Amino acid sequence: MSKISCHIIQDILPLYVDGIVSEDTKEMVEEHLRECESCRKEAEHMQERIVLPNKKEFYQKEQEMLQKFKRRLINRRVLSAILGAVFVCALLASGYTILMIPKEAIPFDPDKMKVEIVGEDAYLSYQGDDLAGSFFAYPVKVRDGNREKEVARVYLEKNLWSAYIQPHLQGKQEEMIYLCKASDMDALYYGELDIEYGENIAEFPEEMELIWQS
């Protein structure tokens, strides 16, 4: 094989140092370096400047980067799931507040509301589809002219849910609302309980309506 000049070897050295030459070229360069001290020093100098990472270290760092990326991705997904759950809960809470909490009294309707005595117990029967709740005040002594009576009060409530959605789900049905022992009251008035009334029936506001008496 003819001797290769140093100029050609030095042109090839960067590729040789990077390890991207063919086996034949590698053997040619190494043979020249064994004989040429100048080119050998140049090759050593290049190797000092180009420090390739250890394959094992490179692999470990690569794995560490992948693990960090996975953790960040998982954290983002978890955070997104938590935020989504919080949003859904807030939406449900808002919907519940709007539909269920604001209540108003159902006006008295003699065609739908009747007091029924079953054995010793008094019940208020309601034939409607918008009932959301009921309130009952146990009998208290109230003067009616020259005598005292045990007078109780009751009223029914509705909300947006019971008025507009509930009827489509369950339809019209009878509700039996327990009041008290029939013998414990002389009269039952229908009206909101937060309305003030005096000690005499004559002082009861117009909103209070007599719906039953013994």
Q: Is residue 15 part of a domain?
A: yes
Q: Is 59 exposed, middle or buried (0-12, 13-18, 19+ CB in 10 A)?
A: exposed
**Same domain, yes or no: 132 and 199:** yes
Q: Is residue 137 part of a domain?
A: yes
**Same domain, yes or no: 87 and 169:** no
**Same domain, yes or no: 131 and 144:** yes
Q: How many CB atoms lie within 10 A of CB 154?
A: 23
**Same domain, yes or no: 148 and 92:** no
Q: Is residue 171 part of a domain?
A: yes
Q: What is the pTM of this model?
A: 0.53
pLDDT digits (tens, 9 = 90+) for 115-151: 999 999 999 999 888 888 888 888 888 877 778 888 8
Q: Is 35 exposed, middle or buried (0-12, 13-18, 19+ CB in 10 A)?
A: exposed
| Boundaries of domain holding 157 | 105-213
Q: What is the total count of domains within the chain?
A: 3
Q: In the prediction, which pLDDT does 181 show?
A: 93
Q: Examine the pLDDT at 59 and tell me if it is beyond 70.
A: no
- Looking up tokens 């001797």, which residue turns up? 3
